[in-house]
Amino acid sequence: MTLLLPGSFHKTSICSGPKSDGAPPMTVITTAIDMHRTIAQWRAAGDHICLVPTMGSIHAGHLALIARARQLGSRTIVSIYVNPTQFAAGEDFDSYPRNFAADQDAIDAAGGVDAIYAPAVMYSDTHATSIVPAGVAAPMEGISRPHFFTGVATIVFKLFQHVPADTAIFGEKDFQQFAVLRQMVDDLELPVTVLAHPTIREPDGLALSSRNAYLSPSQRQLAPVLYQTLRHTAANILAGAPIASCLDNATQRILAAGFDKIDYLDLRDPEELAVSSTAHPDHRLFVAAWLGTTRLIDNCALGADQP
């Protein structure tokens, strides 16, 4: 059964963005009640509905998720909402890139979607309930940013109530986040299927991220070392080198290249995210490292093909 959040139903707003190619305009929906009405109409027509959740600042990685959603469903929705509860004090909530018109243009140029869901707020002034995940949320980001997954799980749970889609698609760059959301959907028996899409990268291997815009030109040149080191380390582990020494060498390589700090560099299994001592092709290397004030995360399966 889908839960409805009455506090989110106090306003009504649907508008359409212009399109120049003669195709129907994309609908921009800003309230849950209108989103539910729209989805009810689509579902009555037998449509399969796919959701791509974003915080805006649309780039090619998001567009790949949207393209996959269009393949999987007959209706595609992109949500755009910068979620304040996943930012701690002193993090980049205020400076996080926001340009809704540019996001619309990027989505439109890539073929468009059936609707953009862009609520102004998703928390009432009296909001007091949160989803607090454990399990796969505990290591890595759970240690470095202990507030983060509560904010993510809560907003995605709310989003699934506002946008009761059949399928939601997330990127593998945030693999631990996907694992947390997969666990939440399973544990709470939510009526949505969550899927992961492979990370989209620049030609030099840097994972696409909205926060890449924070990098200076010199930092941008250095940033691909992170993924290059993961691939080098994966090859050594698969070749039989001791895992602990491979991880130590990778740490030294990243720091020697000019990164300022590493929050974690781990090899873990993809289901429970337990530390792995096995060179299994499906097990993944995870890293979070700082270039100046910019924190970059990445991961890859040991046996993944290089781009």
Can 36 be counted among the known catalytic residues?
A: no
Cβ-contact 285, 269 below 8 angstroms: no
* Cβ neighbours of residue 23 closer than 8 Å, sequence gap 6 or more: 112
On the question of pLDDT at 10 being above 80, the answer is: no
pTM of the model: 0.91
pLDDT confidence bin for 24, thresholds 50/70/90: low
Query: What domains are there in the chain, each with its CATH number?
Result: 6-197 (3.40.50.620), 210-298 (3.30.1300.10)
Task: Label residues 269-292 b or e (16+ Cβ within 10 Å = b).
Answer: ebeebeebeebeeebbbbbbbebe
pLDDT score at 25: 67
User: One of 62, 162, 197, 283 is an active-site residue; which one?
Assistant: 62
Residue 26: pLDDT band by 50, 70, 90 thresholds? confident
Sign, Cα dihedral of 263, 200, 111, 194: negative
Closest CA to 167 of 185, 193, 189, 190: 193
Q: Decide if 76 contacts 70 (C-beta within 8 A).
A: yes
- pLDDT band at 15; cut points 50, 70, 90: low
User: 209-228, pLDDT tens digit by residue?
Assistant: 999 999 999 999 999 999 99
Taking only the tens place, the pLDDT of each residue in 67-109 is: 999 999 999 999 999 999 999 888 999 999 999 999 999 999 9
pLDDT tens digits, 269-291: 999 999 999 999 999 999 999 99
Work out the number of other CB atoms within 10 angstroms of the CB of residue 235: 13
Average pLDDT over residues 161-178: 98
pLDDT single digits (tens) 264-274: 999 999 999 99
